[in-house]
């Protein structure tokens, strides 16, 4: 086929579709592509959004719309809050059991937990959160069969990534010692991490399945499974820590058992449940084809999530360099556990708004996506005020949940005043981060977290803790500064976003994308009729283009 032949066949096929404007010319398409090259590239990297009920009115929201959205988010976030709390409780319960073995055991377990979070759990959870975008928008666009493929793709990537992370955990003690941590605490932490090593693979499987179910609004089974696992975990901890004499090693083993039990139960549910019949259609080799596309979004997702988590966990590592490291490390660990416990509520709302925003954008309803974000911010701000009030009132007693040491309890009470303030900002940024995940803005979120945490927060923490000699309070004050910057930046991005334009821009680019597909496949085809015969079958052609766009994400 001559060069002129395939080119004019492509032009003819392009204009033959009545979905595109009759007056559109090749010259105007080419000019538009040149003028909007960067916008096109950004759009093609975003997951597919359907045209659905696109370009909705920007008038104010009615009371009924707001109440309906509140109800949807409460029904979705309620079980998710409980799921997140129960999963987090696995680590927190283990630390509580170890805390009754003494300060050294508590410091070692806390250090190992922080190390595992920094070098493993945060990376895997961040990469799995790419499914919030892929699965959420596919589900909103009624492409149910794609969810199972996205899940398989995520499992392949996360399990492969877990292998080098396991080697890092195996050498946790030496790594901590290399970075100047106390030798006794490093030895305890290294031992704890080695016994917890198999849990990283179970955690990867668990996170992928949680995102898969969450984006379908199928959260009750997760709640039941997590509740069963947590109850079993308490029994396991009691037996392995106290009855069997394993001590802190028993707590680490209990973590491993619980993560795997949770993961296997979720896998079993997805495979046999009728509710997943449309979204899980069996294993497919197509999962291997889109791995680069998954990495293109999962890596920024991992960076965005990890930068935030690392800034918190780094406080425990820095506390080991302060005078009286055993006291400082124990108190910072208790503070982080406390903060993480109440953070489960904003985290549930974050997951809910991520699901709601991605579903609505996938269905082509940007106005509804914006409403979901606004409602979530209001709800999490209200929760932040209530939680701060409770923490301030109970600050003198909370420390006894972790330790009998009066000095530790008193120090924890002082830290709770700072935790109460930081939780308010942390909740708002969590919801805005969830909106970013659902909308595919992971790269923007990663840059914001980098600037807020590492160019602002951590330098402030170091100055206040080591130069101003404020100790652990100085470290936490620096975190508060980072949270304020992060929340403000995400709020500016959210408020300045034209949600309608997010969908409009993609739809405007579809003619150009279609022409590209026609020309590309014409070059590969020896029979000029093979590709263009599809043009007369509208349904097949639409599906064909959609597949190509998805592969270009």
pLDDT band of residue 197 (cuts 50, 70, 90) is very high
Phi-psi category of residue 180: left, alpha or beta, with phi > 0 → left and psi -120 to 50 → alpha? left
Q: Which tokens hold the place of 328?
A: 């400082």
Q: What is the pLDDT of residues 122-131, one digit of tens each?
A: 899 989 988 9
- Mean pLDDT along residues 162-183: 90
pLDDT of 527 over the 80 cut: no
Highest mean pLDDT among 169-173, 285-289, 548-552: 169-173
Instruction: Check pLDDT > 50 for residue 264.
Output: yes
Alpha helices in 363-405 (DSSP H): 366-393
Contact 300, 442 (CB under 8 A): yes
Q: How many alpha carbons lie under 13 Å from residue 21 in its C-beta half-sphere? A: 11
Match 């708002």 to its residue by tokens: 428
Longest dimension (CA), the chain: 86
pLDDT band at 532 (very low <50, low <70, confident <90, very high): very low
The predicted pLDDT at position 406 comes to: 86
Residue 28's pLDDT is 45
CA 449 to chain centre: 13
Q: Which residue has the higher pLDDT, 420 or 535?
A: 420
For the cut 90, the answer to whether the pLDDT of residue 157 exceeds it is yes
Residue 501 has a pLDDT of 64
- pLDDT value, residue 502: 56
* Interatomic CA distance for residues 517 and 324, integer angstroms: 65
The pLDDT-based confidence of 64 (bands split at 50, 70, 90) is confident
Task: Count other Cβ atoms within 10 Å, centred on residue 512.
Answer: 17
The domain spans of the chain are 63-497
Tokens matching residue 422: 């930081």
Instruction: Provide, for the chain, the percentages of residues in helix, strand and coil under a 3-state DSSP scheme, each rounded to the nearest 5.
Output: 85, 0, 15
Residue 502 near residue 56, CB atoms below 8 Å: no
Indicate the pLDDT class of residue 472, thresholds 50, 70 and 90: confident
What are the tens digits of pLDDT across the range 216-242? 988 899 999 999 999 999 999 999 988
Q: What is the pLDDT of residues 366-422, one digit of tens each?
A: 888 888 888 989 999 999 999 999 999 988 888 888 777 888 888 888 899 999 999
Buried b (16+ CB within 10 A) or exposed e, 336-356: bbbbbebbbbbbbbbbbbbbb
Asked if 372 and 73 touch (Cβ cutoff 8 Å), the reply is yes
Its pTM stands at 0.70
- Which pLDDT does position 262 carry in this prediction? 94
Contact of 297 with 442, CB cutoff 8 Å:
yes
Tens of pLDDT, residues 84-115: 888 888 887 888 888 878 878 888 888 898 88
Neighbours of 333 (CB within 10 A): 24
């Amino acid at each position: 086929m001559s060069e002129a032949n395939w080119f004019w066949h492509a032009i003819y096929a392009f204009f033959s579709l009545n979905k595109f404007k009759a007056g559109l010319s090749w010259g105007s398409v080419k000019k538009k592509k040149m003028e909007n090259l960067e916008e096109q590239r950004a759009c093609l990297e975003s997951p597919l959004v359907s045209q659905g009920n696109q370009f909705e009115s920007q008038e104010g929201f009615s009371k009924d719309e707001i109440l309906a959205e509140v109800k949807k988010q409460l029904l979705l976030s309620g079980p998710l809050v409980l799921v997140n709390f129960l999963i987090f409780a696995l680590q927190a319960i283990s630390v509580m059991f170890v805390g009754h073995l003494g300060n050294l055991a508590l410091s070692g377990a806390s250090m190992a937990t922080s190390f595992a979070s920094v070098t493993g759990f945060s990376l895997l959870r961040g990469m799995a959160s790419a499914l919030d975008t892929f699965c959420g928008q596919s589900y909103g666009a009624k492409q149910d069969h794609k969810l199972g493929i996205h899940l398989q793709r995520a499992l392949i990537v996360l399990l492969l990534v877990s292998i080098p992370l396991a080697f890092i955990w195996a050498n946790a003690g030496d790594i901590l010692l290399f970075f100047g941590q106390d030798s006794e605490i490093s030895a305890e932490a290294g031992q704890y991490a080695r016994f917890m090593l198999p849990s990283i693979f179970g955690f990867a499987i668990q996170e992928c399945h949680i995102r898969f179910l969450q984006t379908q609004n199928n959260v009750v089974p997760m709640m039941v499974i997590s509740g069963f696992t947590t109850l079993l975990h308490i029994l396991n901890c009691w037996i392995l820590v106290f009855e069997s004499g394993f001590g802190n090693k028993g707590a680490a083993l209990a973590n491993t058992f619980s993560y795997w039990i949770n993961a296997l139960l979720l896998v079993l549910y997805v495979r046999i449940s009728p509710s997943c019949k449309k979204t899980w259609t069996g294993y497919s080799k197509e999962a291997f084809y889109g791995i680069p596309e998954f990495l293109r979004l999962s890596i920024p997702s991992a960076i965005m999530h990890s930068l935030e988590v690392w800034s918190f966990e780094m406080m425990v590592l820095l506390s080991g360099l302060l005078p009286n490291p055993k006291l400082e490390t124990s108190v910072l660990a208790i503070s982080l556990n406390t903060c993480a416990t109440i953070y489960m509520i904003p985290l549930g709302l974050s997951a809910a708004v991520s699901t709601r925003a991605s579903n609505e954008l996938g269905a082509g309803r940007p106005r509804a996506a914006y409403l979901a974000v606004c409602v979530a911010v209001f709800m999490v701000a209200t929760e932040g005020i209530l939680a701060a009030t409770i923490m301030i009132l109970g600050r003198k007693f909370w420390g006894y949940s972790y330790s009998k040491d009066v000095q530790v309890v008193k120090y924890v009470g002082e830290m709770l005043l700072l935790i109460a303030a930081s939780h308010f900002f942390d909740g708002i940024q969590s919801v805005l981060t969830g909106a970013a995940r659902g909308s595919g803005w992971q790269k923007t979120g990663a840059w914001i977290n980098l600037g807020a945490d590492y160019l602002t927060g951590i330098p402030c923490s170091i100055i206040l803790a080591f130069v101003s000699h404020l100790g652990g309070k100085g470290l936490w004050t620096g975190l508060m500064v980072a949270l304020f910057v992060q929340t403000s930046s995400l709020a500016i991005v959210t408020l300045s976003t034209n949600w309608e334009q997010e969908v409009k821009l993609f739809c405007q680019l579809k003619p150009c994308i279609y022409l590209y597909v026609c020309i590309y496949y014409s070059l590969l085809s020896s029979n000029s009729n093979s590709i263009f015969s599809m043009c007369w079958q509208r349904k097949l052609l639409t599906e064909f283009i959609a597949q190509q766009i998805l592969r270009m994400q």
